[in-house]
Structure 1
Amino acid sequence: MNEPRRQFGAIPRAGGVAIDEGLRQYMLGVYNYMALGVAATGLFSMLIASNVGLMRTIMSGPLMLIGFFGILGMGMMAPKVIMNGSKVAAHAMFWAYAALWGVMIAPMLYMFQQQGAAVEIYRAFFITASIFGALSLWGYTTKKDISGWAPILGAGLIGVIVVMLLNYFFFQSTMGSLLTSCAVVVLVSAMTAYETQMIKSLYREGSSMNERTAIFGAFALYGSFVTLFIHILNILGIMRD
């Protein structure tokens, strides 16, 4: 992340217009692909949440914990699979990731629906989209190099994961869950800006790798968006109760 970066978006053209059309199309592809993943996850999780028997199976067994570690594992494998594997493997990794998140989100949606608080789901999505959009736009447009954030954000996320697991297995504290979710929202919001700038820096005009980096970028931003949504929904649920 500390390697020298190319500067994009400053290609002079007739009439004084300076637009890098290739970069614009590349980033548009990243966001479109990410949005398709979010939509697929939402539909998949809603279908699962509508099946009471399936919900009981997921919530009563170790599947949630397995899914949690599965998501972490896929997140670590994604760069190698997407950038070095086949294009089929890259697409398969992305959609499998989206499907697994759908399974993980379904129990939350089910509980909110059972409590008559479905409106909180839409409210959480609106808040998530607003925060994500603002931070991603800032990461795309800022002239400041924020690659140095990587070690801090990485250490912070590891610390939060450890605290989440401790609270899940031992403390089971509602206040602990609230504080952890607040910390995740702050960290992932910053991560969104960092990832956007990183994805932008990976673009190479005319490179055949742009398609792969677009999928990788969509994978990274998708994970941040869904993580934000889950923890904002958790905060809204705790505050409502």
Structure 2
Amino acid sequence: MSFRQRPLLDVAVSRNRSDALSIFMSRVYAWMTVGILVTGLVSYFVGNNPQLVAKIFMNKPFFWMVVIVQLLSVVYLSVMVNRISATAAAITFVMYSGLTGLTLSMIFVLYSQASIASAFGATAISFGGLSLFGYITRRNLGPIGSFCMMGLFGLIGLMLLSL
């Protein structure tokens, strides 16, 4: 006979971990939604301003500086994530999202606004919907089933955007 027969306690601990993980994952998806929206808005604003596109992409040193700062912000977040405040991490992430928008703004020269809006909209709806799903249901968003649920929200988003 084992002295570790505490099934109710084990269930309670397991449920608390699962709830904590689902809350954490839903917050991750919420922040990804914010990042995608910032990226989309910045790339839309810059991509629809021919003077800004020319200044960014014709000035090679400036363009490479933007790319390097973008990459350095990822390295900074990766290395410092456990040592910086949540506010500093949020500011760095939003800055990274904005810089990503700058580097992606060239797609407005290559693709139609409708196809770009559909792609960004479907992605934002996917992350937002999955975040809301995890927050409401308190389900763990880590397993592959969540990936499929994200695909479903993406398809719903595409349907809504094509109406």
State the TM-score bracket (shorter-chain normalisation).
0.5 to 0.7
- Counterpart of 1:121 in structure 2: which amino acid? I
Q: Decide whether aligned partners of structure 1 residues 122 and 43 sit closer, same or farther in structure 2, where only a CA change above 3 A counts.
A: closer
What 5-or-longer segments of structure 2 have no aligned partner?
1-9, 131-140, 148-163
Contact in 1 for aligned 2:35/2:97 (Cα 8 Å): yes
CA contact (8 A) 2:47 2:53 kept: yes
Question: For residue 74 of structure 1, what is the aligned residue in structure 2?
Answer: 73
**SS of residue matched to 1:83:** coil
Structure 1: segments with no counterpart, 5+ residues: 1-10, 134-138, 143-192, 194-241
Partner in structure 2 of residue 22 of structure 1: 20
CA distance in 2, matches of 1:71, 1:104: 9
Hey, what's the Cα distance between the residues in 2 that align with 1:99 and 1:34? 13
For 2:142 and 2:109, locate their aligned partners in 1 and report how far apart those are by CA, in whole Å.
36
Other-structure match for 2:57: 59
SS in 2 for 1:140: coil
TM-score, normalised via structure 2 length: 0.60
How far the C-alpha of 1:126 sits from its partner, in A, is 7.2
Distance 1:128 1:41, change over 3 A: closer
Give the aligned residue type for 2:67: F
Q: How does 1:1-241 map to 2 (within 5 A)?
A: 12=11, 20-62=18-60, 63-112=62-111, 117-122=112-117, 124-125=119-120, 140-141=142-143
**TM-score normalised to structure 1 length:** 0.42
CA distance, structure 2, for counterparts of residue 89 and residue 128 of structure 1: 25
- Deviation of 1:123 (Å): 5.2
Structure 1 consecutive aligned stretches of length 4 or more whose deviation exceeds 6 Å: 126-129
Secondary structure at the counterpart of residue 11 of structure 2? coil
Q: CA deviation at 1:74?
A: 1.6
Matched-pair contact (CA < 8 Å) for 1:82–1:93:
no
Question: 1:38 and 1:126, CA in 2 relative to 1: closer, same or farther beyond 3 A?
Answer: closer
Which protein has greater RCO, CA pairs closer than 8 Å, 6+ apart? 2
Q: Aligned residues: percent identity?
A: 22
Residue 72 of structure 1: how far off its partner (Å): 1.9
Return the alpha-carbon distance in structure 1 between the equivalents of residues 85 and 34 of structure 2: 21
Q: Greater Rg, structure 1 or structure 2?
A: 2
Name the CA distance, whole Å, in 2 between partners of 1:46 and 1:118: 9
Amino acid at match of 1:60: M
Residue-pair matches, total: 121
- 1:40 and 1:123 map into 2 onto residues whose CA distance is 16
